[in-house]
């Protein structure tokens, strides 16, 4: 077990280092975006004096390195800065200005909405994908197996916006079962939130199911030729019991990895789906912030996406380590 703890600690330190490097890339990339917020807010009639005054109020005239470390220090304390788009320029002077809205105030409800959508999708996609993978392994090389593989390849190959519009056409236009717009808001009942979130959740389910299903199928099939599986069959166990009780527990490591990666995608890759369904999540906020050159919001959204992806991959690594008996009980 000490060896396991050392491996986990190494993964955590590597994750922190990765997040630090990614934060540098995010800050540099966002500040290299074309356009200037001051010119966007002032329009075509912007004068150099007015543009420079707004840049000075927002701190954009200071050195990039200094602004990065101020942003990183604030982020470590939970302060992601103030939104440029919501700023009151008459009173916006430095970080303690009374005017404007903090980035955290803008992101918090949107992030909660995105997590709700990701949770609904995961609740549908994970059991569905693992179940399909088990059945495909059980009935491999049959019509069912070939059909599920065609379905998986089709969903993998189709872009999210295409799947979204197909579902809108069949489930909201031709057969008005679900609303085409996911305009949820605070105070809405859980039933209404689920109803309005179902179409984007189904879209994301189609996107992520294929990877999880194919990995489950491949991992189980690789174990079916093992001696202990043959022994279980000789004892008279049914094929389903052999897979569920003996093959599946030993195939958990790769399955956990692919599930965690796809759950990370549900948080980081929802931008297109949220825009199509006008879902008020962090992806929609990110697109709006890019349009208005709202640098603090763009940086915060990118940092949250990166942190979510890194954390979920760390969780996958740790769970894979803990589920490996050879690491937990070394000779």
CATH number at residue 262: 1.10.3720.10
Q: Both 73 and 162 in a single domain?
A: no
Same domain, yes or no, for 60 and 182? no
- Whether residues 82 and 36 fall in one domain: yes
Chain segment 33-57, per-residue pLDDT in tens: 766 666 666 666 667 777 777 777 7
21 has pLDDT over 90? yes
Contacts of 243 (CB under 8 A, 6+ apart): 134, 137, 138, 220, 224
Least confident of 22-31, 189-198, 203-212, 255-264: 255-264
- What would the two tokens of residue 17 be? 């280092």
Question: Does residue 321 lie within any of the structural domains?
Answer: no
pLDDT of residue 17: 93
Q: Among the residues of the chain, which ranges form H helices?
A: 2-31, 37-42, 48-58, 64-76, 103-138, 143-157, 160-168, 190-223, 227-234, 239-242, 248-250, 252-268, 271-276, 282-291, 295-322, 325-328
Question: What is the C-alpha separation between 135 and 145, in angstroms, rounded?
Answer: 8
Residues with Cβ within 8 Å of 281's Cβ and at least 6 positions away in sequence, in order, are: 110, 111, 113, 114, 117, 270, 274
Q: Give the percent of the chain with pLDDT over 90.
A: 12
Residue 6 located in a structural domain: no
**pLDDT tens track for 106-117:** 898 999 999 999
Residue 327 included in any domain: no
Distance, CA of 25 to CA of 303 (rounded, Å)? 10
Of 103, 137, 166, the position where a domain reaches its end is: 103
State whether 155 and 28 are in the same domain.
no
Tell me: do 173 and 287 sit in the same domain: yes
Task: Round to whole Å and give the CA distance between 97 and 323.
Answer: 51
| Under 8 Å between Cβ of 294 and 85 | yes
* Domain assignment of residue 330, yes or no: no
pLDDT at 207 over 80: yes
Residue 95 CB contacts under 8 Å (≥ 6 apart), including other chains = 74, 79, 81, 82
Which of these three, 46, 76, 103, is where a domain ends? 103
Together in a domain, 99 and 209: no
- pLDDT, residue 93, reads 39
The Cα–Cα gap between 65 and 281 comes to: 31
Pair (146, 251) in one structural domain: yes
Look at residue 83 and tell me if it is in a domain. Answer: yes
Identify which of 77, 78, 80 has the alpha carbon closest to the alpha carbon of residue 27: 80
In this prediction, residue 25 carries a pLDDT of 92
Q: Tell me: do 97 and 121 sit in the same domain.
A: no
Q: Are residues 97 and 159 in the same domain?
A: no
Nearest to 132 by CA among 216, 67, 235, 15: 216
Are residues 162 and 237 both part of a single domain?
A: yes
In this structure, the answer to whether residues 143 and 44 fall within a common structural domain is no
Q: What is the pLDDT of residue 315?
A: 84
pLDDT for residue 317: 80
In a domain, 187, yes or no: yes
pLDDT-based confidence at 90, cuts 50/70/90?
very low
Question: Cα–Cα distance between 138 and 247 in angstroms, integer?
Answer: 11
Domain that holds residue 49: 11-103
Q: Are residues 89 and 24 in the same domain?
A: yes
Per-residue confidence (pLDDT) for residue 325, from 0 to 100: 60
Beta-ladder partners of 102:
82
- As for how many domains the chain has, the answer is 2
What is the pTM (predicted TM-score) of this model?
0.81
Give a yes or no: residue 315 inside a domain. no
């Amino acid at each position: 077990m000490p060896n396991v703890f050392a491996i986990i600690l190494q993964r955590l330190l590597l994750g922190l280092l990765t997040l630090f490097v990614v934060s540098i890339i995010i800050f540099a990339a966002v500040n290299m975006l074309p356009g200037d917020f001051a010119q966007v807010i002032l329009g075509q009639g912007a004068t150099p004096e007015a543009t420079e005054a707004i840049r000075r109020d927002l701190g954009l005239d200071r050195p990039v390195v200094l602004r990065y470390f101020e942003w990183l220090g604030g982020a470590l304390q939970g302060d992601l800065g103030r939104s440029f788009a919501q700023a009151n320029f008459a009173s916006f002077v430095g970080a303690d200005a009374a005017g404007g809205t903090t980035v955290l105030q803008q992101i918090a409800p949107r992030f909660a909405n995105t997590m709700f959508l990701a949770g609904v999708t995961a609740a549908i996609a994970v059991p569905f994908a693992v179940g399909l993978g088990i059945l495909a392994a059980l009935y491999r090389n049959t019509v069912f197996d070939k059909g599920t593989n065609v379905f998986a390849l089709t969903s993998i190959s189709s872009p999210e916006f295409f799947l979204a519009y197909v579902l809108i056409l069949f489930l909201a236009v031709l057969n008005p079962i679900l609303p085409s717009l996911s305009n949820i808001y605070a105070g809405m009942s859980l039933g209404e939130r689920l109803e309005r979130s179902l179409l984007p959740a189904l879209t994301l389910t189609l996107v992520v199911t294929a990877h999880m299903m194919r990995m489950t199928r491949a991992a189980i099939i690789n174990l079916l030729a093992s001696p202990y599986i043959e022994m279980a069959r000789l004892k008279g166990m049914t094929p389903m019991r052999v897979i569920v009780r003996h093959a599946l527990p030993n195939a958990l490591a790769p399955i956990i990895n692919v599930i965690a990666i796809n759950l990370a995608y549900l948080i980081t890759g929802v931008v297109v789906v949220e825009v199509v369904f006008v879902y008020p999540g962090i992806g929609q906020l990110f697109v709006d912030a890019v349009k208005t050159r709202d640098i603090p919001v763009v940086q915060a959204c990118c940092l949250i996406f990166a942190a979510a992806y890194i954390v979920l991959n760390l969780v996958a690594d740790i769970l894979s380590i803990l589920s490996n008996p050879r690491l937990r009980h070394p000779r």
